């Protein structure tokens, strides 16, 4: 399928090249695929990502605040729940197995690349509407969906299999589709069916592009514990 996560996402992704490819094919990702990523880098990334998820949960909670319909609220609240109940749980589990306690995880000092990304997303939501916020959130959700799907098919090692299964699995792929539908519907509701002709479109694509670059920075941070 050429638009597995909806129409707007496909258009925004095309506008964000080559940053999109740098994000989804980063050396960190290729290391997960081949099992060559040093364990130390992976655990460092997971600890930072735990802090990232705390702020991302806040951003998705803001999407509930910025919703204008019940179905928008349902989609946003479903993501808040998936984040807090499942994704953060994955990090806690893997870190605990590696001897990093939940207290240590919570006390992780946030790296600047991490802080820049989540505060950029929150600011997009604070000063804008649901569209500005979703444009900043989409690269994270769909990027990991693409990476998970590709690595499920191409991985040559089982070392990072739990991580790959989480994002390549049916549940997560369904969540990406749901966010794609939320984005398409929210755009149509606010800007009309021809949303790419709206004067707001280029700014939304710019927000998506910046968030994509911040994802590249996050992977790069992961490689430098």
Ligand X SMILES: Cc1ncc(C[n+]2csc(CCO)c2C)c(N)n1
Interface positions, 92-121, toward ligand X (CB under 6 A): none
Position 77 contacts ligand X (CB under 6 A): no
The residue whose Cβ lies closest to ligand X is 140
Min dist CB 197 to ligand X, Å, is: 29
Position 41 contacts ligand X (CB under 6 A): no
d(CA 49, CA 94) in angstroms, rounded, equals 12
Position 5 contacts ligand X (CB under 6 A): no
Please select the residue that binds ligand X; options are 11, 43, 82, 191, rule is CB under 6 A.
Answer: 82
Position 83 contacts ligand X (CB under 6 A): yes
Longest dimension (CA), the chain: 53
Which DSSP category does 180 fall into?
A: H
Structural contact between residues 64 and 77, judged by C-beta atoms closer than 8 angstroms: yes
Report in angstroms the alpha-carbon separations of 54 from 77, 82, 99. Answer: 15, 12, 21
Min dist CB 184 to ligand X, Å, is: 17
Position 223 contacts ligand X (CB under 6 A): no
Please select the residue that binds ligand X; options are 20, 42, 144, 195, rule is CB under 6 A.
Answer: 144
Position 23 contacts ligand X (CB under 6 A): no
d(CA 123, CA 89) in angstroms, rounded, equals 26
Position 183 contacts ligand X (CB under 6 A): no
Q: What is the 3-state secondary structure (H, E, C) of 60-98?
A: HHHHHHCCCCHHHHHHHHHHHHHHHHHHHHHHHHHHHHC
d(CA 105, CA 218) in angstroms, rounded, equals 18
Please select the residue that binds ligand X; options are 87, 113, 132, 146, rule is CB under 6 A.
Answer: 87
Residues that bind ligand X (CB under 6 A): 49, 52-53, 56, 79, 82-83, 87, 140-141, 144, 175, 215, 218
């Amino acid at each position: 399928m050429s638009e597995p996560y909806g129409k707007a996402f496909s258009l925004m992704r095309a506008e964000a090249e080559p940053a999109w490819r740098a994000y989804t094919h980063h050396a960190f990702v290729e290391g997960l695929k081949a099992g060559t990523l040093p364990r130390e880098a992976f655990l460092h990334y997971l600890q930072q990502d735990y802090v990232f998820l705390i702020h991302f949960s806040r951003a998705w909670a803001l999407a509930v605040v910025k919703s204008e319909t019940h179905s928008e609220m349902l989609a946003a609240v479903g993501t808040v729940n998936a984040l807090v109940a499942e994704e953060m749980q994955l990090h806690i589990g893997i870190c605990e197995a590696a001897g990093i306690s939940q207290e240590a995880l919570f006390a992780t000092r946030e790296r600047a690349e991490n802080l820049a990304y989540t505060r950029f997303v929150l600011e997009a939501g604070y000063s804008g509407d649901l569209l500005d916020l979703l444009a900043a959130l989409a690269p994270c959700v769909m990027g990991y969906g693409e990476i998970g799907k590709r690595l499920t098919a191409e991985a040559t090692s089982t070392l990072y299999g739990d991580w790959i299964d989480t994002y390549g699995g049916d549940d997560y792929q369904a969540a990406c589709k749901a966010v794609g539908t939320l984005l398409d519907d929210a755009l149509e509701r606010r800007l009309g069916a021809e949303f790419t002709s709206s004067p707001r479109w280029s700014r939304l694509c710019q927000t998506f592009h910046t968030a994509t670059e911040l994802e590249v920075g996050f992977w790069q941070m992961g490689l430098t514990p």
